[in-house]
Chain A
Amino acid sequence: GAVVSQHPSWVICKSGTSVKIECRSLDFQATTMFWYRQFPKQSLMLMATSNEGSKATYEQGVEKDKFLINHASLTLSTLTVTSAHPEDSSFYICSAREQGWREKLFFGSGTQLSVL
């Protein structure tokens, strides 16, 4: 089956630094990628939708200047948490939609971010 690779799987950083998370579709072209945030024992909350070659669309309440999303190619999207603070600590997970398929949505393995 299709594979979405997400790196790093976990990261610890100091407050004020920036962290980049990568999401790659390994064997298919992903027209659209989605970024989610998940707090412990809670549901996934959609942060933003990224389409290759265009600006990301952010959900209400998500700071686009804090969570920078780049979708430079059909196989790679990145999420950069800028000037991270402890309240940004969370589990971040991406998903990718295979081009041309409505129902094929595949998830990365997630990134646990801890900001000290």
Chain B
Amino acid sequence: AQKITQTQPGMFVQEKEAVTLDCTYDTSDQSYGLFWYKQPSSGEMIFLIYQGSYDEQNATEGRYSLNFQKARKSANLVISASQLGDSAMYFCAMRENDYKLSFGAGTTVTVRA
């Protein structure tokens, strides 16, 4: 069964606007972590934000925020004030007790000027 589901293969967003990338997950572990990574065309995986399953507040890192809804098992990423440099592939990932990361299929974001 798919552990991480990203249903948006691609998204367009206007520069300076906000965009929300959807991510739902499936796990029976009580302790887990959720990550978002950005992968530009160069291939490197850039860590954006982390949310622990026991964290009560939504994580924020600069222009990135994670909308964590535990009961719905969703961990959507919000990018505010989009910039041209935000154009990339974005992956949602989950770490379970074995420390392995399971990745979603990814969402390609294209920021338009």
- Do A and B originate from a single complex? yes
Q: Chain A contacts of B52 at CB under 8 A?
A: 102-103
Instruction: Give a binary string over B59-103; 1 marks a CB under 8 Å from any A CB, 0 the rest.
Output: 000000000000000000000000000000101000100111111
A32 to B101, CA, bound (A): 12
Q: Chain B contacts of A102 at CB under 8 A?
A: 33, 52, 95, 99
Q: Chain B contacts of A97 at CB under 8 A?
A: 99
Asked if B106 contacts A46 (CB within 8 A), the reply is no
- Least Cβ–Cβ distance between B55 and chain A, in angstroms: 10
A93 to B42, CA, bound (A): 12
A32 to B45, CA, bound (A): 18
Q: Chain B contacts of A109 at CB under 8 A?
A: 42-44
Is the C-beta of B25 less than 8 angstroms from some C-beta in chain A? no
Asked if B105 contacts A43 (CB within 8 A), the reply is yes
Is the C-beta of B47 less than 8 angstroms from some C-beta in chain A? yes
Asked if A105 contacts B44 (CB within 8 A), the reply is no
- Least Cβ–Cβ distance between A71 and chain B, in angstroms: 14
A86 to B94, CA, bound (A): 31
Asked if A107 contacts B106 (CB within 8 A), the reply is no
Q: Chain B contacts of A93 at CB under 8 A?
A: 43, 45
A-B contact count (CB 8 A): 55
Asked if B106 contacts A43 (CB within 8 A), the reply is yes
Is the C-beta of A106 less than 8 angstroms from some C-beta in chain B? yes
- Given A41, A43, A49, A103, which contacts B103 in the complex, CB threshold below 8 Å? A43
Is the C-beta of A28 less than 8 angstroms from some C-beta in chain B? no
Asked if B101 contacts A105 (CB within 8 A), the reply is yes
Is the C-beta of A25 less than 8 angstroms from some C-beta in chain B? no
Asked if A112 contacts B43 (CB within 8 A), the reply is yes
A110 to B44, CA, bound (A): 6
Q: Chain A contacts of B33 at CB under 8 A?
A: 102-103
Tell me which residues from 13 to 59 in chain A have a Cβ below 8 Å from any Cβ of chain B: 32, 34, 41-46, 49
- Given B43, B47, B105, which contacts A105 in the complex, CB threshold below 8 Å? B47
Asked if B44 contacts A95 (CB within 8 A), the reply is no
Q: Chain B contacts of A45 at CB under 8 A?
A: 103
